[in-house]
Amino acid sequence: MKCKEQHIREQLPSYLEGKLEHGKTALVELHLARCADCAEELTLLRLLANDPSPDPGEAFWASLPDRVYREVRQQCRDADTFTTATEAARAAAGAAAAWVGAAMAAEAAEAAARAASREAREAIFHTAVKIWLEAAV
């Protein structure tokens, strides 16, 4: 994600749930009209929120931390962000394994990834979504 307006991105879940004040809703909608990155992020959030897939079970959640770790490690192998991305991925995956549901897993990954660099956050979030969608199919 290349958008520099982090405060808008952080409001997307509340926007999706209709929990923003009218003024903030208008600002988010104006931003979404001109920002493809945030519009794509909102699309991902909608997919996760509307996912009728059942809980994939305990085995999935138990294996998620290692799967996210391996995927992020592969993506960051040549990058300087490896250590930060690894720590954030482990935290995100561990939190996701403790919760049930794709939306909660994405929220846990996003919360843990805030400490990582922008590139690492994107890799972690999209990796978690990718793994969830693969398991749901």
Alpha-carbon 65 to chain mean position: 14
Region of poorest pLDDT, from 17-21, 27-31, 68-72: 68-72
Mean pLDDT value of segment 94-104: 53
Helix (H, G, I), strand (E, B) or coil at 53: coil
Alpha-carbon 81 to chain mean position: 18
- List, for residues 65-81, the tens digit of each pLDDT value: 888 888 877 777 656 55
Residue 99 — pLDDT band, cuts 50, 70, 90? very low
Closest-CA residue to 137 (of 72, 51, 50): 51
- List, for residues 113-137, the tens digit of each pLDDT value: 554 556 666 677 777 777 777 765 5
Quick one: pLDDT at residue 61?
79
Quick one: pLDDT at residue 57?
79
Quick one: pLDDT at residue 128?
76
Contact 136, 42 (CB under 8 A): no
Residue 32 has pLDDT above 90, yes or no: yes
Residue 19, Cβ density class (10 Å: 0-12 exposed, 13-18 middle, ≥19 buried): exposed
- List, for residues 37-59, the tens digit of each pLDDT value: 999 999 988 888 877 767 777 88
